[in-house]
A and B are shown apart, each in its own frame.
Chain A
Amino acid sequence: MRKSDLIRISGRQVFRQYRKNIGVAMIIILGTAGLIMVITMGRSIEQNISSDLEIIGNATRIRVIFKPPETIGAIQDNREFSDRVIKEITRITGIEAVAGIIRKRGYVRATSGEREKQFECLGVDHSFWHIHGSTSLHGTLITAADVRNSKLVCTIGQRVAQELFGSVDVVGKFIRIENNLIEVTGVLDTISMPDKVRHIFLPITTARKRLSRMSPRNRLYIRCSSWDDVLPALRQIPDVLEKFQPGDEVELFFPVEILKRVKAIAFGVKTFVKLALISTLFLGGFGIWNIMMMSVRARTREIGLKKAIGAEDKDILVQFLAEAVLLSLSASTLGILLGWAGVSLTADIINSSPPQELFWFSVLIGFLFSLFLGVAAGIVPAIKASRMEVVTALRYE
Chain B
Amino acid sequence: MNSPLLEINSITKSYQIAGQDVVVLKQFSMTVGKGEMVSIMGPSGSGKSTLLFILGLFLSPTAGTYSFDNRDVLQLNRKEQAGFRRNEIGFVLQGADLLENSTVYENVEYPLIYAQSKRSGRQKRIHEVLDQVKLSHRIHHSSNQLSGGERQRVAIARALVNHPSVILADEPTGQLDRENSLQVMNYFRAIAEQTETSLVIVTHDQQVAEFCDQIIIIDRG
Contacts and interface: CB of A to CB of B under 8 A. Distances in A.
A389 B82 CA distance: 12
Interface stretch (B51-59, B179-187, B203-211, B213-221): B51-59
Q: Which residue among B82, B87, B99, B113 has the maximum number of chain A CB atoms within 10 Å of its CB?
A: B113
A1 B114 CA distance: 5
A394 to B, nearest CB: 7
A2 B113 contact: yes
A302 B78 contact: no
B141 to A, nearest CB: 15
A310 B93 contact: no
A35 B93 CA distance: 49
Nearest to B92: A308
A302 B99 contact: yes
Interface size class of chain B, counting residues whose CB lies under 8 Å from the partner chain: 20 to 34
A313 B82 CA distance: 8
Contacts of B87: 310
Interface residues of A, number: 24
A345 interface: no
Helix, strand, loop or mixed for chain A's interface?
helix
Given A308-B58, A391-B53, A9 B82 contact: no
A341 to B, nearest CB: 33
Interface in B56-94: 56, 58-59, 78-79, 82-83, 85-87, 91, 93
B56 A308 contact: yes
Contact of A309 (B59, B79, B106, B111): B111
A4 interface: yes
A16 B86 contact: no
A389 B57 CA distance: 11
A297 to B, nearest CB: 16
B53 A309 contact: no
B116 A306 contact: no
Contacts of B113: 1-2, 5, 9
Contacts of A310: 82-83, 85-87, 110-111, 114-115, 162
A311 to B, nearest CB: 5
Contact of A391 (B59, B97, B159): B59
Interface string B90-107: 010100010111100010
A312 B111 contact: no
Nearest to B84: A310
A390 B78 contact: no
A307 B81 CA distance: 10
A394 B93 contact: yes
A16 to B, nearest CB: 5
Interface string A291-318: 0000000000110011111111101000
A302 B116 CA distance: 19
A311 B114 CA distance: 6
Q: Which residue among B100, B114, B158 has the maximum number of chain A CB atoms within 10 Å of its CB?
A: B114
B58 A312 contact: no
